[in-house]
Structures are given as structure tokens and as C-alpha cells.
Amino acid sequence: MNTNFFEHTIRGGLPLKPQRAAGLSIVSNTTVVLLKLATGIYTGSVAILSEAIHSLLDLVASIMAFFSVRLSQKPPDRTHPYGHGKIENLSGTVETLLIFVAGIWIIIESCEKLLNPSPLHFPLLGAAVMALGAVINLVVGLIVRRAGIRAKSVAMRSNALHLLTDVYSSAGVALSLVLVGLTNFTLLDPLIGIGIALFIMKEAYQLGKESFLPLLDVRLTPEEEEKIRQILQSYADEYIEYHALRTRRSGPEEHIDLHLIVPSEMSVEDAHRLCDRIEADIHRSFPQAQVLIHIEPEEERL
């Protein structure tokens, strides 16, 4: 499928807020789960039933994303002075584990079908339902991904990955059912099921790295840190040097702190204004960043 066409189709619309996009994914996943489950039982296809389980976990992930986005937007309080952003990372990590569970379950069911093959009923009907589910999740997945990128929400991007992964696996099952209908080679059904499981587990590994590492206060990417250094360099004629630059991510927020050495004759008021201007420039590139600049006099360097 050409995702560029669908991206162009939805690009003209107003972007949804993360919480509304998560709500939309809950509605779409519920619809797709019911369609796949009913069709899988009716046709006897383990691949369709496996996809129904996959979509059920996507639904759970969508519900988790809905609440994690809502909770992560709560302002800092006495118990959580640095905010609640890491709730999104925790949600994404749990979603990763759910994908692995789904992959293992699909492999077990597919191996059982390989050992004890059974005929499929109306495979072309199953292919049509899978294609419909793929189209629904493709459109919704692109909308959710766009909302997640705009909001820098790891939970929303994780949710979008669930939906877009489902697109490719559903399309693969639809193709296998068409081939089964044309060739009557029923072993294609569990073989495609195993392929789907391996694919979604690979995607889960990538998602897990993105979600889990910020829980360990991993730094921003080299490209992001280079952008911060370029901003600092643009003020180089107003300070002596900077050091101890540290960065980390917490959900949709970036935390940036550094030490700035200024000339001894610079007044506290001027140093404060300089920091305000630097912070304003950083916020233009990182709108949700929390920036802390520690001022040091020239003698500190000596």
C-alpha cells in the first residue's frame, strides 16, 4: 500500500490533539477486533484469529496511550516536581511487552495448525475483511502518528506503530488467504501467521528501545544536542565558555542544563537577561524543554 497517498489525503485536515487521537484509535481498534474475531471464528483461519489477538493488544495499547497522555500532561506537584512525562515511557514499555506476548501466542497457535492442518471456510471473505481492517488502521495510524510527532509524545508514536504494524500484518494475511482460495494450500495460513509474529516482535524491539531507555535518563540524540550547541555558539561573544551540558528526555519533554561562565564585570541582571535569551532560543527548537543554566563568574574557570 502507498502510505504517501493516505498521508496526502489526511494532511489537509486539522491535526487532532493527542488525547483525541488516542480516543480515535480506541474506536478503530474496537471495530477491527470485532471484525477479525468474528471472521476468524467463521472461517477457521488461525492467521485471522492471530490478527484478532494482535488487534486486541493494539486496543489495550490504545487505552493505555489514552490515559498515559492524559496523566503525563498533569503539571508538576509536590510528589513529582519534575512532572509526569515518564508515564508515557512506562506505557510504551508495557505496550512492547504486550506485543512480545502476542508474537509468542501467534507462533504457538501457528505451529499447532502446522501439525494439525484443517480446511478453511470462505478464505476470500476473510481476505476482504482483513483488507478492510488494514485500510481502517492505515488511515487512523497516520493520523495518530502525526499527532504524536507534533506533540513529541512517545506514547502516541508507540500507539501509531501498533496500528501501522497491524496494517502490514493484515495485508499479509489477506494475501495469504487469497492464495489459499486460489491454490487450496492451507499450510500457507499458519506459515504467514509465523511470519507476522516475527515481524511484530522485531517492531516491538525497536519500540522497546525508544520507550524504555528514557526511563534510565538517556541523553538526547546527537543531532538534538548539536542543535543546542549551535544555539549556544550563536551567543559565544557574550560569555566566556560553557561546560557540563547535560540532557535527558521525559515523555514529551526535554530536560537541558549547563554551566555558563560569564565575564566578572557582567552584572547579575545582564547575566540573567543573557540566560533568558538563550532559553528562548532553545524553546523555539524544543517547545516543551525545561532549561536550567547555572551562571559562574570568570574566576571559576581559573
Which amino acid is it at 25?
S
Which amino acid is it at 191?
L
Which amino acid is it at 216?
L
pLDDT tens for 171-185 read: 878 887 888 788 888
| Residues 252 and 153 sit within 8 Å (Cβ to Cβ) | yes
DSSP bridge partners of 262: 297
| Residue 291 main-chain phi, psi, to 5 deg | -110, 130
Question: Averaged over 283-294, what is the pLDDT?
Answer: 91
| Residues 11 and 137 sit within 8 Å (Cβ to Cβ) | no
What is the rounded CA–CA span in Å between residue 40 and residue 287? 46
Higher pLDDT, 111 or 213: 111
DSSP bridge partners of 258: 293
Under 8 Å CB-to-CB from 8, ≥6 apart: which residues? none
Distance of CA 150 to the CA centre of its chain: 12
DSSP bridge partners of 256: 247, 291
Question: Averaged over 262-284, what is the pLDDT?
Answer: 93
| Residues 96 and 201 sit within 8 Å (Cβ to Cβ) | no
Higher pLDDT, 256 or 22: 256
Confidence of residue 55 (pLDDT cuts 50, 70, 90): confident
Question: Averaged over 218-229, what is the pLDDT?
Answer: 90
Question: Averaged over 196-203, what is the pLDDT?
Answer: 78
The secondary element (H helix, E strand) that includes residue 297 is strand 290-297
Please check the confidence at residue 3 and state whether its pLDDT lies above 60.
no
